[in-house]
Amino acid sequence: MSQAQPNIASEAFDIAIVGGGLVGASLAYALASQDWRVAMLEAVAPRAASQPSYDDRTLALSDSSCRILAGLGVWPALADSATPICQVIVRELEGPARVVLDPAEHGLEQFGHVVEAREFGAAIMGLLPTLESLQMFQPASVTELEISDSGARLAFDHDGQARTLSARLVVGADGAASFVRKAVGIGAGHHDYDQTAVVCNITPEQAHNGRAFECFTPSGPMAVLPHRGSRCGLVWCLSNDEADDKLAMGDEEFLAAAQARFGNELGAFLKLGRRSSYPLREVRAVADTADRTVVLGNAAHTIHPIGAQGFNLGLRDVAVLAELLADAQRDGTDPGDESLLTAYHDWRAPDQAETMGWSDTLARLYANPGAGARLARSAGLVAHRLFPALRRHTAARAMGYRGRIPRLALGEPLT
């Protein structure tokens, strides 16, 4: 890191993206085909182990997310490390209910793919430096933001140097504790689920054959996702005390506990990777736009991972904003114009509200050990088993095909 320097000259951009995590980096890449001058500021140094977005978590990407990434040209860099989801099995571990969702029922070969967040980070961070229209500042932590009628001014610390830049549109993709959201006065509701997700890789005795399992247990949901080769990604949501307990266990003891909860559908659990943990909470911004500002991804909506929807929702934010910006450039409109911000909000608000509501309802229902909640869970699964229309509705939502669909998710070019 260099010594602190006096302020150096401010640079002018059309769009400043604050946060280069999963969502911010995807937006930076999505704008590559447009002629905007774009800055992306990311607080954590490249390839740092502490980068919060590109860690051990396993991401289930919906079919629409895979299409968006393909349309952006990111997919070729991910394809080798992505595992198709060929079947989804939803079951209650201490009850009889079980539903099998089959992509063929929806005219698809797979529901989506599983990718490790770390591999996504390596792929996209390898692509971004090749873009001429993008200037990356990393490590660069934004500390001040002033908005005026004509534009925004951001102050940041870039590797020890105090710097400023101006932009006509500021995008807050800076995570659940978003500095941008607070700086522009957008309030947010917070809910702590008092749960922790314990995440790791396991290798079971039997091949997963592309099956993803979403299991509901009296102490919280457990997902087992197919990975490359014979590995599976385990996401186990537990009360905070139970999670501490599981994290303190030795490997053998943990494997036995996970096996006891999951059962024998994949045979014995043989090997275990490194465990990491995530406290689970919901953050819901009261608005997703303000003057010359959009907040998206976790900055606008941090959700429980039970439905595997967080990044999928954030990617749909990216696809819509990129589409509106492409149209604005064609029409010669200012990227921070109020009409663009209103169009973004009107398009995204229904999907954000519905996806957040769905994830929150599932999280609360499946963390509740009461008899009433258990009955509701079993009834829900039985209804899905009996009614193909209900299965199609749920699958369409999980695959990201509800409401107005952006061009990229339809497989159409952005510009």
Window contacting ligand FAD (CB under 6 A); options: 76-84, 174-182, 343-351, 367-375: 174-182
Q: Judged by CB under 6 A, does residue 255 bind ligand FAD?
A: no
Structure tokens at 201: 């890789």
44 is an interface residue for ligand FAD by CB under 6 A: yes
Looking at residues 120 to 149 of the shown chain, list those that interact with ligand FAD (rule: CB under 6 A): 141-142
State the binding string over 56-95 for ligand FAD (x if CB under 6 A, else -).
Answer: -x-xx-----------------------------------
Nearer Cβ to ligand FAD (353/379):
353
Among the listed residues 14, 20, 210, 283, the single contact to ligand FAD using CB under 6 A: 20
Q: Is 112 in the site for ligand FAD (CB under 6 A)?
A: no
Please give the size of the binding site for ligand FAD, defined by CB under 6 A.
Answer: 36
Q: Which of 329, 272, 377 is nearest to 37 (CA)?
A: 329
Told to check if 235 binds ligand FAD by CB under 6 A, we report: yes
Coil, strand, or helix at residue 58?
A: strand
The nearer residue to ligand FAD, 115 or 374, going by C-beta atoms, is 115
Select from 209, 291, 196, 289 the least CA-distant residue to 248: 196
Q: Of the candidates 63, 70, 104, which has an alpha carbon nearest to the alpha carbon of residue 87?
A: 104
Q: Give the closest residue to 228 by CA, choosing from 253, 210, 244.
A: 210
* Nearest-angstrom CA–CA distance, 303 and 155: 29
Distance of alpha carbon 334 from alpha carbon 150, whole angstroms:
10
Least CB distance from residue 371 to ligand FAD, whole Å?
29
Specify whether the CB–CB gap between 148 and 315 falls below 8 A: no
Q: Could you say which residues in the range 176-205 bind ligand FAD, by CB under 6 A?
A: 179, 197, 199
Give backbone dihedrals phi and psi of 282, rounded to 5 degrees, phi first: -110, 135
CA dist 24 and 277 (Å) reads 23
**Closer to ligand FAD by Cβ: residue 186 or 308:** 308
Q: Which residues here bind ligand FAD, judged by CB under 6 A? A: 18-24, 41-44, 51-53, 57, 59-60, 141-142, 173-175, 179, 197, 199, 235, 278, 297-298, 305, 308-312, 314
